[in-house]
Amino acid sequence: MSPASRKPRGMYFEEFEPGVKIITDGRTISESDILAFAGLSGDFNTIHTDEEYSKTTPFGTRVAHGLLGLSIASGLATRTGMMDGTVMAFREVSEWKFSLPVKIGDTIHAELEVAEKKALPRLGGGSVQLAVDVINQKGEVVMKGLWTVLVASKKE
């Protein structure tokens, strides 16, 4: 199937309404995730890569990069299919706060709620702001903030 003939399965701009909630599946953070992210980003900070050093920190063990958690949350949101073929751009991350560490073996998921939307007809869609909570297996919010995405309108 050519990309031009592929039917999007994501939500269109018109389908997003303030208050709508989307909950992702979970994902367990592994040592491999942390090491791969360190290699990809170049961030080999010892709090992420050195267990003996990390034992001397308030966390007591290695922790995942905050941006790794954010990236995984983005991937989990994508896996829901809500933006598959309809998202035009990931426009902004704002008011992002890293509240608690994510450790090896933690399982995180994201809860997204449509906060607001704004039509942008000249772009063929609109801006959708999502309030995002990333939550661990204990029900604790480990990070949160706002994402703004540009989403295509339905073609009439």
pLDDT on residue 17: 96
Domain assignments of the chain as residue spans, ordered by start: 11-152
pLDDT on residue 152: 96
- Tell me the whole-structure pTM to 2 decimals: 0.92
Per-residue pLDDT of the chain (156 residues; tens, 9 = 90+): 455 555 668 999 999 999 999 999 999 999 999 999 999 999 999 999 999 999 999 999 999 999 999 999 999 999 999 999 999 999 999 999 999 999 999 999 999 999 999 999 999 999 999 999 999 999 999 999 999 999 999 986
CA–CA dist 48, 30 (Å, integer): 12
CA–CA dist 12, 140 (Å, integer): 31
Domain 11-152 is of which CATH architecture?
Roll (3.10)
